[in-house]
Amino acid sequence: MMRPMPSRPHPTSTVAFPLIVGVLAISSSAVCAKPVARVPSTPTFHLKVVRAYPHDPRAFTQGLLFYRGRLYESTGLYGRSTIRRVDLTSGKIEHQEILPADLFGEGLARAGERLFQLTWRSHRVLVWDLATLKKVGEFAYEGEGWGLCFDGRHLIMSDGSDRLVRRSPDNFAVVSEVRVRLAGRPLAKLNELECMGNIVYANVWQDDHIARIDAKTGKVTGWISAAGLLAPSQAAAADVLNGIADLGGTGRLLITGKLWPRLFEVELVPAGKVKAP
C-alpha cells in the first residue's frame, strides 16, 4: 500500500543482518484485521536467506515478479511511479516507463506476454507489452488497487481488505472472490501478492509478516516473519516490507520492501529440518 508520501518503518530488531544465510521463523496464529504485534511461537516453516542482491533504494516497491531471468517491478508515489525491467544480479534498471504524475503505481502481474499494473485510487489497470514495456491497453475497476498476481488462469487482486478477487485477464471482469481468514478471523491489509500454484503469498501492509494463503479456501496456512532482514542503519532510511516474487520455479522467493537497498532470495524450510545458527 500506498501513501502519498513514504514514512519511516518501526524497527523490529536491533541486531544487524549480515549478507549470509540466516533463519527466520514462520508460523500461524490468531489475529484480527489489525497488524500483528508479535511473531507466534510455534513455527511451521523457516525462512532461509540464500543470497542478497542490490535494490534501488529510491524504488517505492508496489509490485514484483521474476520471469526469464529478469525482474519486473512496479513502483509507486505520485510523480514517481514507474514500471521497470531490472537485472537481478546487478540491480541495474534495463528499461523503465514513467507513469503520468496523477497515477500511483501498485501491484503487478504477468499473464502471457502482457503485464498488468494496478493503480491505487484511479480505478485503472494498465496493460503493458512484456517485451517492450509499451502500454497496449487498460481496464477499469471499482475500489482501490493494492496487490496483483496470476495463477495461470485468473488474475488475483487485493484491495486492502481481507478479500482476494479473481479477475479475467481478458477484460478484468470479476470472476469470484474469497475472504482470507487466519485462525477463523479476518486478515485485512493484504497488499503485494505472489501466486505459486494454489498458494498466494501476501504482504500485510505495515507489518513484518507475509501470509501464506490457500487460494481456494482463503485459509492462512503459514505466517512468515521477515523482521530483521535489514540492518538498523538500512531500515532507518527504508519503508515497509513489500515485494514478493517466485524465483522461476525453484521454490524460492525474492523479497524486498519500499525504498529498500537490498532484495533477498529465500527458501521456505519446514520447521525442525534446519537448526538455527
Confidence of residue 46 (pLDDT cuts 50, 70, 90): low
Mean pLDDT computed over 35-51: 58
pLDDT at residue 94 tops 90: yes
Sketch the domain layout of the chain as residue ranges: 40-270
pLDDT at residue 9 tops 70: no
Q: Which residues pair with 193 in a beta bridge?
A: 202
Architecture of the 40-270 domain? 7 Propeller (2.130)
Looking at the chain, the whole-number percentage of residues with pLDDT higher than 90 is 67
Q: What is the pLDDT of residue 152?
A: 94
pLDDT at residue 179 tops 90: yes
Bigger pLDDT: 131 or 13?
Answer: 131
Q: What is the pLDDT of residue 16?
A: 33
Mean pLDDT computed over 13-30: 33
Confidence of residue 271 (pLDDT cuts 50, 70, 90): low
Confidence of residue 254 (pLDDT cuts 50, 70, 90): very high
Instruction: Please state, in angstroms and as integers, the Cα–Cα distance from residue 73 to each residue in 33, 101, 196, 255, following that order.
Output: 27, 18, 18, 12
Alpha-carbon distance of 145 to 75, in angstroms, equals: 13
Mean pLDDT computed over 114-137: 98
pLDDT at residue 245 tops 90: yes
* pTM for this entry: 0.83
- The closest alpha carbon to 30, from 228, 272, 211, 255, belongs to 211
Alpha-carbon distance of 54 to 241, in angstroms, equals: 15
Residue 137 identity (one-letter amino acid): G
- Average pLDDT of the chain? 84
